[in-house]
Structure 1
Amino acid sequence: MKTNLITRGGYEQLQQELTHLWKVERPETTQKVSWAASLGDRSENADYQYNKKRLREIDRRVRYLTKRLESIKIVDYSPQQEGKVFFGAWVEIENDQGETLSFRIVGPDEIYGRTDYTSIDSPMARALLKKQVDDEAVVNTPSGEKTWYINKIIYNKD
């Protein structure tokens, strides 16, 4: 189950994607389908088949985004969050071997295409929530428990 939270920046990105799909890509693809259909035999027309498939993909994504944008809750920065790990925080952590990781805790809709974001639903994020700098967090992984120490907590005050 996905958590229905998102940062304001993530919400705006999804909104822009929806607008672009609906106002730019869909009309262009519809025009290509009409053009390819006008050429005659559709069974062997690669342009028609490809663009018809692309139109279905666009419509599916538009439906998903429309429903998702209605159901998610935007979480803005609050001064009360300072000093502790909560949704939207940039966190730097370190383990006993000296390995460091730095990432932002965001909603599940925001992590795609980003290596510096982790979902609030991930075991790492769950273990870090409500912790402070110098606290240790024990994360359950498939290979056993791992201990991480929090070095830094930063919030972008969007």
Structure 2
Amino acid sequence: MERIPITKEGYEHLKKELEQLKSVERPKNIEAIEVARAHGDLSENAEYDAAKERQSFLEGRISELSYKLANADVIDTSRVARDKVVFGCRILLENVDSGDEVTYQLVGPDESDISKGKISVSSPLGRAILGKVPGDEVVVDAPGGKRCYELVDIL
């Protein structure tokens, strides 16, 4: 069974989403199915079809979240070493070509959100930066071509 790395915050977020789906969304959808079923002929009942489709989506997501939570490898990022880049740490990178600086946190695939400065350890940049120390250069093959960064600091 594959363990899925995740921060404590990411684990809690997935747990909260699962609880919301089970306690709010699923019952609401069951009610929508009952209401649509009460309208009679199910063969041409768009409300019923939509509710059944939503039920399928909800059950799939509940199953997916349950699997991920059961196989989660929760990593306490407060205890992460700061001498080299590892899962959970925050890093400051400088784009060698433009001089632009960016800060990222390395997280599990289910937590990555570039708009919040969180990148997956399994992304090209995440894989390239693991194990590096401040001062190291990192070259990443990006869709727009190669990008060079310098690891300025581990925060």
TM-score tier after normalising by the smaller chain length: 0.7 to 0.9
User: Aligned partners of 2:116, 2:99: CA distance in 1, in Å?
Assistant: 20
TM-score, normalised via structure 1 length:
0.86
Paired residues for 1:20-31 under 5 Å: 20-31=20-31
User: Aligned partners of 2:80, 2:60: CA distance in 1, in Å?
Assistant: 39
Determine the structure 1 residue equivalent to 2:44.
44
Contact 2:21 2:62 in 1 (8 A): yes
Letter in 2 for 1:50: A
Letter in 1 for 2:34: S
Determine the structure 2 residue equivalent to 1:132.
133
TM-score, normalised via structure 2 length:
0.87
**Percentage of identical aligned residues:** 35
Shift of 1:144: 5.0
Determine the structure 2 residue equivalent to 1:95.
95
Shift of 1:35: 1.1
SS in 2 for 1:24: helix
User: Aligned partners of 2:77, 2:31: CA distance in 1, in Å?
Assistant: 43
Q: For residues 19-73 of structure 1, what are the alpha-carbon distances to aligned partners after superposition, in whole Å with 9 as ceiling and x for unaligned?
A: 0000100001101101110110112222211111101100010011111111121
Q: For residues 108-157 of structure 1, what are the alpha-carbon distances to aligned partners after superposition, in whole Å with 9 as ceiling and x for unaligned?
A: 11125845211101121112112222222222345554321112322xxx
Q: Structure 1 residues 76 and 100 mapped into 2: Cα distance closer, same or farther (>3 Å)?
A: same
User: Aligned partners of 2:114, 2:138: CA distance in 1, in Å?
Assistant: 26
Contact 1:6 1:107 in 2 (8 A): yes
Contact 1:21 1:62 in 2 (8 A): yes
Contact 1:3 1:120 in 2 (8 A): no
Q: For residues 83-113 of structure 1, what are the alpha-carbon distances to aligned partners after superposition, in whole Å with 9 as ceiling and x for unaligned?
A: 3211111212112221222221110111258
Name the Cα RMSD after superposition.
2.1
Q: Which runs of 5+ in 2 are unaligned?
A: none
Q: Which runs of 5+ in 1 are unaligned?
A: none
Determine the structure 2 residue equivalent to 1:53.
53
Determine the structure 2 residue equivalent to 1:77.
77
Determine the structure 2 residue equivalent to 1:6.
6
